[in-house]
């Protein structure tokens, strides 16, 4: 009998192709997951509003992890129990694990006054965010509706910035264009919370995690079946030692789709 699965996935460069944001290469795998009713939990640096946009396009309504683990969102009509400490808001049970965005913005502004050359999404128009990220202006507006993290353009000494942020209870991780300023949370910690809730609801699950970037490593290291999606200048080029690790041959949605279908076959899903 096939084991029950929980799938945790990044979006950009993983399920979604870079630049085009297409998921065409994963559509067959997504259809199969829906038919099998296997939960697919998005775990991304994107905001709640961005994830809602993509869930609608992908045809899923499972819990999700926003802003690199800063927030865990469980739809109230889900069968999962709300986690301890969650608040009831906007149709979700929300467990906040990050520093409030307003606090992060105040710290960014303070550091800028102290000579750090930081410019965050909060300083940019939707048009500028769209130009920098290759999003539409509608998507860029959703990306600006932040709750737990601030993507910033930064020029200067990253170690000095890290020290200054740590003194103020924050840290950052580097993405492609931006550094992402946040509290001390990650996708792996949020994944652990959701694993526990699913196991409370329905017994044992094996976890699958898919990602392409350094901020995906805590999630990949926790998963029973970790899958790194190949990407130029991604972690596939310097993959760490992780048990049962798979690295795809293809990038983006095609790599994602093929990896999921192959894993399902290996685990007895037909």
| Sheet bearing 64-66, strands edge to edge | 87-89, 92-96, 71-75, 64-66, 40-43, 5-9, 206-211, 225-230, 246-251
Nearest to 217 by CA among 232, 196, 236: 236
Burial of 265 (0-12, 13-18, 19+ CB in 10 A): exposed
Whether 10 is catalytic:
yes
| Sheet bearing 149-155, strands edge to edge | 117-120, 149-155, 179-182, 171-174
Nearest to 228 by CA among 206, 250, 207, 204: 250
Given the residues 10, 17, 186, 216, the one annotated as active site = 10
β-bridge pairing 117-120 and 92-96: unpaired
Residues 6+ apart with CB under 8 A from 145: 47, 48, 49
Q: Measured between alpha carbons, how far is residue 96 from residues 46, 238, 243 in Å? A: 15, 32, 30
Residues 6+ apart with CB under 8 A from 159: none
Contact 31/24 with Cβ under 8 angstroms?
no
Nearest to 211 by CA among 192, 181, 194, 186: 186
Contact 165/107 with Cβ under 8 angstroms?
yes
> DSSP secondary-structure letter at 105?
H
Which residues are registered as beta bridge partners of 181? 150, 172
Q: Which residues are catalytic?
A: 10
């Amino acid at each position: 009998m096939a084991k029950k699965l929980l799938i945790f996935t990044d979006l950009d460069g993983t399920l979604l192709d870079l630049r085009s944001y297409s998921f065409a290469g994963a559509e067959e795998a997504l259809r199969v997951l829906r038919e099998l009713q296997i939960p697919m939990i998005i775990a991304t640096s994107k905001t709640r509003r961005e994830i809602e946009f993509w869930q609608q396009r992908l045809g899923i309504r499972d819990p999700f992890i926003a802003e690199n683990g800063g927030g865990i969102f469980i739809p109230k009509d889900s069968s999962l129990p709300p986690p301890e400490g969650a608040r009831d808001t906007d149709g979700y049970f929300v467990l906040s694990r990050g520093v409030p965005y307003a606090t992060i913005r105040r710290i960014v502004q303070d550091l800028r006054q102290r000579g750090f050359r930081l410019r965050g999404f909060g300083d940019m128009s939707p048009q500028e965010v769209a130009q920098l990220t290759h999003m539409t202006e509608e998507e860029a507006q959703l990306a600006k509706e932040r709750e737990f993290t601030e993507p910033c353009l930064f020029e200067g000494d990253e170690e000095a910035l890290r020290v200054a942020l740590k003194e103020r209870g924050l840290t950052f991780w580097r993405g492609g264009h931006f550094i992402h300023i946040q509290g001390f949370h990650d996708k792996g910690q949020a994944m652990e919370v959701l694993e526990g809730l699913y196991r409370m609801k329905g017994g044992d699950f094996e976890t699958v995690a898919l990602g392409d970037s350094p901020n995906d490593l805590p999630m990949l290291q926790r998963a029973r079946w970790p899958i790194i999606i190949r990407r130029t200048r991604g972690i596939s080029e310097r993959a760490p030692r992780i048990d049962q690790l798979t690295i795809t041959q293809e990038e983006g949605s095609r790599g994602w789709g093929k990896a999921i279908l192959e894993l399902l076959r290996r685990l007895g899903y037909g």
